[in-house]
Amino acid sequence: MMFKDIELANPEYLWILLLIPMIILWEYISRFKKYPNLKLSSLKGFKDEKSLLAKFRPLIFVLRVFAFMLIVIALSRPQVVQVSTKTKTNRGIDIVMAIDVSSSMLAQDLKPNRLAALKRVASQFIDDRLSDRIGLVVYAGESYTKTPITNDKSIIKMALENIKFENLIEDGTAIGMGLATSVNRLKDSRAKSKIIILLTDGVNNSGFIDPKIATELAVEYGIKTYTIGLGSNGNARAPVGLLPNGSFRYGITKVEIDEDLLKEISKSTGGLYFRATNNKKLEEIYSEINKLEKTEIEEFKYYNYQDKYRVLVLISIALLFIEWILKNTLFKSFI
């Protein structure tokens, strides 16, 4: 439609339309003065016939009023405004998620277990990072890169979903190696902000890289590290051995997390330490990190104005022209 999404540049001119009722009233009052009146004592000698043309005589005034209305609306400058938006990412963030995949991640203090709960929350976190690149590092007794840093969210989420404990790497908790591998993925990044989210549910008991050395590397390359201790306070039902059929035998074990180490890593690198004791707390932690690390996006809006007043002016001129023709032809004898 021609007048869809119309905006008025000068809406104050519409106040002039309040004159129209006054103009109509004035026309009604003064119409008796415009035309001569003849008073007769009786009309019996005249035929009672009304001219059809005389009935349409007010049409001239109606055309004039409509022309006036259109001119006032044209003065208010109706226009269609088309807005186009362009976004520019000024500051991208590269993120590596370092995930503990030791057998203790199958503990059932989080539902259905720690690893499954983490994968669900981490997947939502990935969805929320629209403009960032993300990579995955997994570690137990040793570590490796599951997915290099990429902005292809489908690849990252598929790799995350495929993470499971299959005893493919040595069991244990090599926090130092997990952190060092993550630093290695980020050290050559040109992003202005580089982040590691390191999650573990145990203490550093494996690997040949000391966590303090890995922390120093993160500081050297300007990589901020958020650490998360995963596990309830007290005891949890977790794998304690293998059954003859190869499945895990579960038992009640004490939850041990080296919180002092995780706090030291986060503090040294400018990050924060969090403790996730249940599913809800884990969700809140990733939500908090998501809020803390915002990508700066600049938005540009371009406005295209298309004035529509010309059409109204042309219509009003046409109405005035029709009025002039009728006044000087059909209704000339009445004026």
Q: Which residue, among 89, 270, 121, 109, has the nearest Cα to 199 in the 3D structure?
A: 121
What pLDDT digit, counting tens, does each position of 277-309 carry? 999 999 999 999 988 887 655 556 777 777 877
Which neighbouring-strand residues pair with 249? 241
Work out the angle between the directed axes of helices 279-292 and 114-128 (0-180°, nearest 10).
30
Q: What token pair was written down for 81?
A: 């405004």
Q: Specify the CATH class of 93-294 in words.
A: alpha beta
What pLDDT, on the 0 to 100 scale, is given for residue 1? 45
| Stated pTM of the model | 0.64
- Give the DSSP H or E segment for 185: helix 175-186
φ, ψ for residue 10, nearest 5 deg: -130, 70
What pLDDT, on the 0 to 100 scale, is given for residue 54? 60
Q: Please list the ranges in the chain whose pLDDT falls under 50.
A: 1-2
Q: What token pair was written down for 76?
A: 């208010």
Tell me where in the chain the CATH 3.40.50.410 domain(s) lie.
93-294
φ, ψ for residue 19, nearest 5 deg: -75, -20
What pLDDT, on the 0 to 100 scale, is given for residue 62? 82
Residues 6 or more apart from 302 whose CB is under 8 A from it?
A: 83, 84, 85, 86
**Number of C-beta neighbours around residue 64 at 10 A:** 17
